Amino acid sequence: MAPSITQSLDNVTDFVILQGNGVKGLSEMGIKCLPKQYIQPLEERITKSKIVSQESIPIIDMLNWDDPKVAEAICDAAEKWGFFQIVNHGVPLQVLENVKNATHQFFGLSAEEKRQYSKENSPSNNVRFGTSFSPESEKALEWKDYLSLFYVSDCEASALWPPACREEVLEYMKRSEIVIRKLLDVLMKRLNVTEIDKTKESFLMGSKRINLNYYPTCPNPELTVGVGRHSDVSTLTVLLQDDIGGLYVRGRSDDDSWVHVPPVRGSLVINVGDALQIMSNGRYKSIEHRVVANGSKNRISVPIFVNPRPCNIICPLPEVIANEEKAIYKEVLYSDYVKHFFSKGHDGKMTIEFAKI
């Protein structure tokens, strides 16, 4: 059966997407050869020579989060790296374990059960099971399945989110709220925003999307990617990863270098997204990152994307451009920005060009 499935894009799309098998289904068939649709151009593959092991993103202990040194470390990391890990952040380890187990539980469902949540069958646009990133517009597919949940209310989540994971996901979202607010408070202070009022709250954290990502074992991991080079379109992303590893962040030198984000038990990876880069007029950086495919292990990750509301018009904050600083980004409707992101394949830092003056 394998050769006929992997011969044409239509067949792969049918098996992977429409039938709900995902790349997990391909992986579990035991295929020995990567289907051609997943072969990435050479320049999009990560090779050992591009990986720098001398550098690493900061790990910040948030136990004494009101200590000015912690605030300084967070703002410095957001300016220099756009990426850091936090430990002692207050989200209980058990909540993190539960959401990882729930992710395995969801992807362990039968294809028939999962396809109820595909774009074609889902009862809502806010719940979507899919594969790759944007299969209709990508030149090569990515070796990843996902469940994407846009949070509207507990009531909607209870009615529409998959029972296999909804309680654990909701609990994780609730328990991470305090640390998200602390991070935004600290980051805003350096921008001379002393108070996050209701308007600012909407711009910074007015909507949330959580994705459950599943990267199954891949027959030829060196030929493809788990996720291609991209920056997130969020304000901040809070990412939980398991202990497999494979996330890389663009290095700080000008060449094509990449730095691994090693799994640290109990930690959360924080990264700045495009919306915060725009609102801070480029002071905080949304940095490109990518995920490799793995030849022997299944990997999961769970990002919470903290975003403006879709109806917000985002632009550099008045406090940032108060002192004659020139705005480098124009006003954009956030939902237009996100639609633009989803309308193309991953292309590194190109999305933000949409908002440049």
Ligand X SMILES: O=C(O)CCC(=O)C(=O)O
Ligand Y SMILES: COc1cc(/C=C/C(=O)SCCNC(=O)CCNC(=O)[C@H](O)C(C)(C)COP(=O)(O)OP(=O)(O)OC[C@H]2O[C@@H](n3cnc4c(N)ncnc43)[C@H](O)[C@@H]2OP(=O)(O)O)ccc1O
Q: Which residues bind ligand Y (CB under 6 A)?
A: 119, 125, 128, 130, 133-134, 146, 148, 150, 207, 209, 211, 227, 230, 232-234, 273, 305, 307, 310, 335, 338-339, 342
Render 301-352 in DSSP notation, one character per residue: EEEEEEE--TT-EE---TTTSTTSPPP-B--EEHHHHHHHHHTS---BTGGG
> Residue 291's binding partner, choosing from ligand X, ligand Y, Fe ion, none, with beta-carbon cut-off 5 to 8 A by kind?
ligand X
E strands in 98-204: 127-131, 145-151
Binding flag, residue 303, ligand X (CB under 6 A): yes
- Closest contact distance (angstroms) between CB of 90 and ligand Y is 23
* Residue number, 227 or 238, with CB nearest to ligand Y: 227
- Closest contact distance (angstroms) between CB of 71 and ligand X is 26
What φ, ψ does residue 314 adopt, rounded to 5°? -100, 150
d(CA 280, CA 327): 10
Candidates 68, 340, 82, 339; CA nearest to 235 is 82
CA dihedral 239, 241, 247, 251 (to 10 degrees): 50
Ramachandran sector of residue 79 (left: φ over 0; alpha: ψ -120 to 50; beta: rest): alpha
Candidates 81, 93, 39; CA nearest to 57 is 81
Stretch touching ligand X by CB under 6 A, among 59-67, 124-132, 149-157, 239-247: 239-247
- Closest contact distance (angstroms) between CB of 233 and ligand Y is 4
The single residue among 236, 247, 276, 292 that binds ligand X, judged by CB under 6 A, is: 247
214 forms beta bridges with 145, 300
- Closest contact distance (angstroms) between CB of 230 and Fe ion is 6
* Residue number, 10 or 255, with CB nearest to ligand Y: 10
- Closest contact distance (angstroms) between CB of 343 and ligand Y is 7
* Residue number, 81 or 143, with CB nearest to ligand Y: 143
The single residue among 132, 280, 286, 301 that binds ligand X, judged by CB under 6 A, is: 301
What φ, ψ does residue 181 adopt, rounded to 5°? -65, -40
* Residue number, 128 or 297, with CB nearest to ligand Y: 128
Give the up-direction half-sphere exposure of residue 105: CA atoms within 13 A in the CB hemisphere: 14
The single residue among 27, 176, 207, 213 that binds ligand X, judged by CB under 6 A, is: 213
- Closest contact distance (angstroms) between CB of 22 and ligand X is 15
* Residue number, 227 or 292, with CB nearest to ligand Y: 227
Side-by-side strand order, sheet with 236-241: 59-61, 83-87, 268-272, 236-241, 299-307, 207-215, 145-151, 127-131
Tokens of 121: 């069958």
Binding flag, residue 210, ligand X (CB under 6 A): no
The single residue among 44, 142, 232, 274 that binds Fe ion, judged by CB under 5 A, is: 232
- Closest contact distance (angstroms) between CB of 68 and ligand X is 31
Report the interface residues with ligand X, using CB under 6 A: 211, 213, 227, 232, 239, 241, 247, 289, 291, 301, 303
Report the interface residues with Fe ion, using CB under 5 A: 232
